[in-house]
Structure 1
Amino acid sequence: MPREHEFDLPVRYYETDAQGIVHHSNYLRYMELARVELLKSTGYDYAKIEEAGVLLVVAKATVSYKSPARYGDTLRIWIRTERAFGARIDHRYVIKVGERLVAEAETTIASIDREGRVQRIPRELEIDDQ
């Protein structure tokens, strides 16, 4: 699995509030998109992982908002896999507009089966530096 990935995403009008500022809830969607894009960057397909009976669910998410993003901005979204071992994947995110920091975030992803039981992530997704 790749360690990191980044991509650009334009802010769409429907993601903003009445002041034209990205609503805070959209950052969780951006983070999910970043995880999917990270997998796609190496040829992994999230749908195929699910078909194999592995469900990757958010167990924890934290976001620290630094400055507003607005309609018309292009976000630069960076994701890094800090750890992926056992039944857990930890990611870190940085979201910027140009050089301006918009948000920093972290998630912990748990691997479960279709019945909700914890299961090991596929070996090809593992990263363990400890």
Structure 2
Amino acid sequence: MFVLDSIGFVNTGLPLIVLGVLAVMIPRFVVDHETRSHGKVMLGIAVSAVILFGVGYGISVVLTNARGVHAMALGSRPELGTALWMHSRLSLMAAIVWAPILGLVWFGQAQGVEARRGRDLALEGQ
């Protein structure tokens, strides 16, 4: 069994690596590769961010349960609200890693849109 009481590879490094890799991979499936619209790219990046938030939330729940604290199985409503807030906050804290990566992917996708638009203009002029 892993000790998850301190910052280590299993409870910090590995989840952040997974979120970073997903921040690169998810937009490849969500954003259309042939779009000429920055709006569609922005929507795809927003959907990717929501998915990454959900994955971060799930990782938080799994790590909390691995520590022996079953936060989602709490009895009363106030405790459930506290658990939801805690995991949401932890998921948003992980965004410090995946958000800049997602931003770079967004810029790359935007460059692809501009390249396709430029190619279309060049073909129109012939």
Report the TM-score range of the alignment, normalised by the length of the smaller protein: under 0.3
Structure showing the higher strand proportion among its residues: 1
Question: What TM-score, normalized by structure 2, do the two folds share?
Answer: 0.27
Structure 1 or 2, whichever has the larger Rg, is: 2
From the two aligned structures, give the one with the greater helix fraction: 2
TM-score under structure 1 normalisation? Answer: 0.27
